[in-house]
């Protein structure tokens, strides 16, 4: 007697080897409500055997999605050329557009042609801009104001997907995320943890900005909500943790999570920003000293979504993995 067909919706996650995509695949495979297919450039041996894996090439205008999209109900598109601090290529915008715009829209057209019902696009708060004024957090309906090639490419991808949704009838959900941290995080957040662990005094004791971050588990929880919630159709949401932190507060809490109190010198914020800019570190200066706040109330109102993981718990999880991987 043959087994009954599995009628659970099939979700395809692109960029399944990346920081966000990999965590999302694991969450979905544990969730039980969905069949899961992971698309990546390489095999992922640590996934549940029930997760179907499909190899795809580099994201671009000629990527073949036929095998990956067969029978899929929902796509979460997490594959992208990610933002890199101090991008030095004079062709940066072209490179970002090749992957994040041409590749994304080709995937979107392929998904619509394959009969995909909904596409959830992992975008960036950089579509809104790089900083906010006090008491003026970014909102989903703000006029986009990207300031760098990465943000521009994400905005163009969003606009193209919205147009495609109108033409093809496929639902498009956009989720913009600020800086994402969690176990296994690399780049600038890992650098902050390394700095705190050294015990070197840092001139960050009087930074009174406010920044919204998002823990990986909180972002993944919002993406899972957007996969299945009917009210998410053709909407844009902003992700964020339940509380914002100043740079000073973040360093202090990181020190607590790492078991090494942060040694912070109370130097005026303006001096820190000026010094960093004077040595060519303008983007780092802006991230350390300026505010970037996100209003997540739309997700709460329409979807009933609230970030489940408190900041301190997320920082402890991040620090624990960092210490383990460092042999400490």
The pLDDT tens digits of the residues spanning 249-300 come to 999 999 999 999 999 999 988 888 888 888 778 788 888 889 999 999 999 9
Q: Are 116 and 175 in contact (CB under 8 A)?
A: no
Query: Percentage of the chain with pLDDT > 90?
Result: 77
| pLDDT tens by residue, 211-233 | 999 999 999 999 999 999 999 99
Query: Residue 269 falls within a domain, yes or no?
Result: no
Q: Does residue 196 sit in helix, strand or coil?
A: helix
Predicted pLDDT of residue 220 = 98
**Which phi and psi (to 5°) does residue 254 adopt?**
-65, -40
Looking at residue 16, its pLDDT comes to 94
Q: If we measure between CA atoms, which residue out of 118, 22, 11 comes closest to residue 79?
A: 22
Q: How far apart are CA 206 and CA 227, in angstroms?
A: 41
Task: Say if residues 71 and 10 touch (Cβ distance below 8 Å).
Answer: yes
pLDDT of residue 92: 83
Contact by Cβ (8 Å): 119, 164: no
What residues act catalytically? 150
Q: Tell me, what's the pLDDT at 88?
A: 57
Residue 84: per-residue pLDDT: 62
pLDDT at residue 1 tops 60: no
- Residue 283's pLDDT is 80
pLDDT digits (tens, 9 = 90+) for 227-255: 999 999 999 999 999 999 999 999 999 99
pLDDT at 25 over 80: yes
User: Could you identify the residue written with the tokens 């801009």?
Assistant: 129
Instruction: With respect to residue 22, please indicate whether it lies within any of the assigned structural domains.
Output: yes
Q: How far is CA 186 from CA 206, 318, 326, in A?
A: 26, 11, 13
Number of domains, the chain:
1
Question: Is residue 259 in some structural domain?
Answer: no
Contact 61, 82 (CB under 8 A): no
Asked, for residue 320, whether it belongs to a domain, the answer is: no
Of 276, 239, 233, 271, the residue nearest 86 (C-alpha): 276
Q: Mean pLDDT, to the nearest integer, of 19-36? A: 95
Average pLDDT over residues 186-207: 92
- Would 200 be classed as within a structural domain? no
Res 90: pLDDT = 60
Does 257 map to a domain? no
Rounded mean pLDDT, 138-159: 94
- Which residues make Cβ contacts (< 8 Å) with residue 255, sequence separation at least 6? 196, 261, 262
Residue 328 has pLDDT above 70, yes or no: no
Give me the pLDDT at residue 87, please.
56
What span, in angstroms and rounded, lies between the C-alpha atoms of 228 and 255?
38
Task: Answer yes or no: pTM beyond 0.85.
Answer: yes
- In a domain? residue 263: no
**How confident is the model over 56-71, as pLDDT tens digits?**
988 888 899 999 999 9
- pLDDT tier for residue 135 given thresholds of 50, 70 and 90: confident
Q: Is residue 325 situated within a structural domain?
A: no
Going by pLDDT thresholds of 50, 70 and 90, the confidence category of residue 134 is confident
SS3 sequence, 48-103? CCCCEEEECCCCCCCCCCHHHHCCCCEEEECCCCCCCCCCCCCCHHHHHHHHHHHH
The mean pLDDT value of the chain amounts to 92
Query: What CATH number is given to the structural domain containing 117?
Result: 3.40.50.720
pLDDT at position 131 is 92
Q: Which domain holds residue 127?
A: 10-184+213-243+294-312
Instruction: Summarize pLDDT for 82-119 with one digit per residue, the tens.
Output: 866 555 556 888 898 999 999 999 999 999 999 999 99
């Amino acid at each position: 007697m043959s087994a009954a067909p599995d009628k659970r919706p099939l979700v395809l996650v692109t960029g399944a080897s990346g920081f966000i995509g990999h965590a999302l695949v694991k969450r979905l495979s544990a969730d039980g409500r969905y069949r899961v297919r992971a698309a990546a450039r390489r095999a992922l041996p640590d996934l549940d055997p029930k997760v179907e894996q499909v190899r795809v090439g580099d994201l671009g205008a000629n990527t073949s999605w036929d095998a990956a999209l067969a029978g899929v109900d929902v796509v979460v598109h997490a594959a992208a050329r990610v933002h890199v601090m101090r991008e030095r290529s004079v062709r940066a915008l072209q490179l970002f557009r090749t992957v994040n715009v041409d590749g994304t829209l080709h995937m979107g057209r392929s998904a619509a042609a394959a009969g995909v019902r909904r596409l959830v696009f992992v975008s960036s708060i950089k579509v809104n801009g790089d900083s906010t004024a006090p008491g003026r957090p970014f909102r989903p309906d703000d006029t986009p104001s990207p300031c760098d090639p990465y943000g521009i490419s994400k905005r163009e991808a969003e606009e193209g997907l919205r147009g495609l949704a109108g033409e093809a009838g496929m639902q498009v959900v956009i989720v913009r995320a600020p800086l994402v941290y969690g176990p296994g995080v690399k780049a600038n957040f890992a650098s902050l943890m390394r700095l705190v662990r050294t015990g070197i005094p840092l001139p960050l004791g009087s930074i009174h900005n406010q920044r919204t971050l998002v823990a990986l588990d909180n972002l993944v929880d919002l993406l899972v909500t957007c996969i299945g919630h009917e009210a998410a159709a053709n909407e844009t949401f902003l992700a964020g943790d339940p509380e914002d932190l100043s740079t000073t507060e973040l360093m202090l809490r990181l020190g607590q999570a790492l078991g090494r109190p942060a040694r912070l010198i109370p130097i005026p914020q303006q001096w820190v920003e000026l010094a960093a800019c004077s040595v060519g570190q303008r983007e780092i200066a802006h991230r350390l000293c300026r505010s970037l706040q996100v209003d997540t109330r739309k997700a709460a109102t329409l979807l009933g979504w609230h970030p489940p993981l408190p900041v301190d718990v997320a920082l402890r999880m991040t620090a624990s993995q960092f210490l383990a991987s460092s042999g400490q």
